[in-house]
Structure 1
Amino acid sequence: MGCCQTKSGKAGGKVKLEAVDDDAQPEEVEDMPKKEITPENLLLSASLAGDTSTVQTLISSGVSVNAKGEKDYTALHNATRNGHTALVNMLVSCKADVNAKTNAKNTPLHLASIFGHTGAGEVLIKAGSELMARNNVGIMPLHAASLGGYTSMGKLLLESGAEIDAKDTYWTALHNASRGGHYEFVELLLERSANVNVRGLEGNTPLHHAALEGHLKVTQTLMGSGGDVNLMNDHKLTPLHMAFMGGHHECVKQLMERASEDTLRQFNMGKGMGSKAPAVDQTVEIRS
């Protein structure tokens, strides 16, 4: 759809993702706080609902396409959040700022990645969205997609030039996908030569995370791609220790089959410390 024209003829010029909790679900118009009825608020409400006709009418009447509402969300943030691809395309054609940031520094592409809206993401990237934009906690779109396990979104970002081994504050996308048990996303990253033994917070590798959470298929895949069973983190713990601490016996068995004699000796000497050992910090926050 072509860009809306104003009457003058010019273009209208804490979410936790351990999995995805309720706050990270697409927002509905009825969920919005009651606000003063203004053209700008009508635009934001219509964009949440995917009401392309109303949005077009409001922009044509002179409402700024980049008007901001609660948390500094724009119409483009709202349309992207709820996966309204046709509306995203129309807003982009009306010169919506594809790199506008919320209070938490999330761009529309962050939201497309958080919710796995690949179609909207494709429109945004073609329009110039920054692939490596960071939000308040350092998370980039690829990290957001990996946290949710949205493989098609991850593939789009990588094919568009996102850096595969870039870290947020602590972790890479492979850490996130491994911790979440997102097997297909892990495969996507490994097929594109992600660093399988990259270290994150407290020296943990993706294999440490997969083992602690008991994600057997991911654990096997990481090992098959060169994940080092014998690497110790900052607390002198190997992935074998992590699997034992988590009570994941099948993972323990698989890791023991590949562990060195030194690792097995250390494990047998120290496995009684399991309840005292520092756990991996699993909390990831994306503030919307």
Structure 2
Amino acid sequence: MSEHATESFLAHRNLLFTVAYEMLGSAADAEDVLQETWLRWVKVDPARVHDPRSYLVRITTRQALNRLRTMKRRKEAYVGPWLPEPLLTAPDVAEDVELAESVSMALMLILETLSPTERAVFVLREAFDVSYDEIAAAVGKSPAAVRQIAHRARRHVDARRPRQLVSAASSRAVLAAFQRALETRDLQGLLDVLAPDVVLLSDGGGVKQAAVRPVVGAEKVVRFAAGGLGKVQGLITTEPTVVNGSPALLVRLDGDLDGIMAIRVEDDRIAGLYYVRNPQKLTRVTAETTLTHT
């Protein structure tokens, strides 16, 4: 069983990581879940396993649910807004519209408003097309209850998700305009590229300076950015990258990584700005992480 178990686990590892990450929003916690999944998987009687992929997804889901409930207490004590841990992803992820949306900062923040069970059901059903019977086995509910939970979660998410999906090319164009305005400190240029009701969330985790509350409105966001730039001692540079399947900016201060700035675009303007500065969340932005729904 040991060699066979290893082969099966490695064959599905990227899928299992994606399941755990979409449920948790944390790569570090997702890796811990995969370790716990492995420890349970090697103890399973092979005679009980007809479909290794489904069985592994079930174990991963259960471990992620346990971790999600623990994380909820951690987040309640978190300093300032909590943002998902950004992942450097391959450019082709951005071209897979469904995958890119499912791991986007915008959607993952919406998933934060669901209960742990609702989030698990939504992720498994909507992102991975897992059957209701399999989800029921994973979350410990009846198939009928899972259908109701899925319907409730979908309605909740649909009411809050972006009105339209934006192509990677359109997002890159908007991001380039934002980058130019930011680097030249063109305040009018920043106003032009921001939606009137734009929301800025910055995550310093109590370690790096960040706004402790959301900054709402284009003029307030520009004032906040101008104030922050004015206090910086050193040279700020930005470079385009792809984070969570979407165009983003990697921000450096005197050559050292300072943070990741992701965006949400609506109607050719930035409607959401997500700036992650917490150093503990910046460990997965220098090497690509493989994400998959298959």
Relative to the length of structure 1, the TM-score reads 0.23
TM-score, normalising length: structure 2: 0.23
Tell me: higher relative CO, structure 1 or 2? Use CA pairs within 8 A at least 6 residues apart: 2
Q: Which structure is higher in strand share?
A: 2
